Amino acid sequence: GAGVSQSPSNKVTEKGKDVELRCDPISGHTALYWYRQSLGQGLEFLIYFQGNSAPDKSGLPSDRFSAERTGGSVSTLTIQRTQQEDSAVYLCASSFRATLSTDTQYFGPGTRLTVL
Amino acid sequence: DAKTTQPPSMDCAEGRAANLPCNHSTISGNEYVYWYRQIHSQGPQYIIHGLKNNETNEMASLIITEDRKSSTLILPHATLRDTAVYYCIVRVPGNQFYFGTGTSLTVIP
């Protein structure tokens, strides 16, 4: 079946502009995660949705970052007033149910964001 | 969730077993050990996970010490395509994954 998809694959924006990144999880997956990965670094957790529960936003680096998940499926990560340090690859992952020990995350290809 | 410590890099000869260590000395009883890998420019890929017993699947084996304070991922016959960054994560089901910086494995022809 189809995997996790993300759009756009690349985004170049000017400092101060807002951007929206989209993630389409695997159908039927109740958990959805956002991470970012700066050049040469590991993955940094941003936010996590599990079903209808309140999202875990503990990884969001500032209030310029927000995310929503509509209808338990598609998610949008919004970065307001982008800064150059926001430049990174933004990765989305989904899993069947995060509370299971067997929970396996499936990752999308990522969106490469460049802030000029 | 407990933190993990991994060597930043390792080399392995093609066809040999690659043994990647991970320390998780503060692991608690309900935390599982997961391994993922990330091949350049791709999203991470699940490899294997376990609680306290050793596990094996078609990709790798996971050996967890009896005190659960460390584990080793074994790729039995490394190929060039196994060159990647390998992440060891400990996690309570339902919590988020903290990936850390992992071990960069280079398989040498």
Question: Per-residue pLDDT tens for A1-20?
Answer: 579 999 999 999 999 999 99
pLDDT of residue B109: 95
**Size (chain B), residues:** 109
Nearest neighbour of B93 by CB, restricted to A45, A59, A98: A98
**Residues of chain A in Cβ contact (below 8 Å) with chain B:** 4, 33, 35, 41-45, 48, 50, 56, 58-59, 91, 93, 98-110
Torsion sign over Cα A114, B103, A103, B25: negative
Chain A residue numbers touching B44 (CB-CB < 8 A): 43, 91, 93, 105, 107
Low-confidence ranges of chain A (pLDDT < 50): none
d(CA B39, CA B84): 5
Closest CA–CA distance from residue A15 to any residue of chain B (Å): 25
Q: If you measure CA to CA, which chain B residue comes closest to A30?
A: B94
d(CA B86, CA B84): 6
Within a 13 Å sphere around the CA of B42, how many CA atoms are in the beta-carbon half? 14
Note every long-range contact of A52-56, with CB atoms under 8 Å and residues 24 or more positions apart, other chains counting: A56/B96
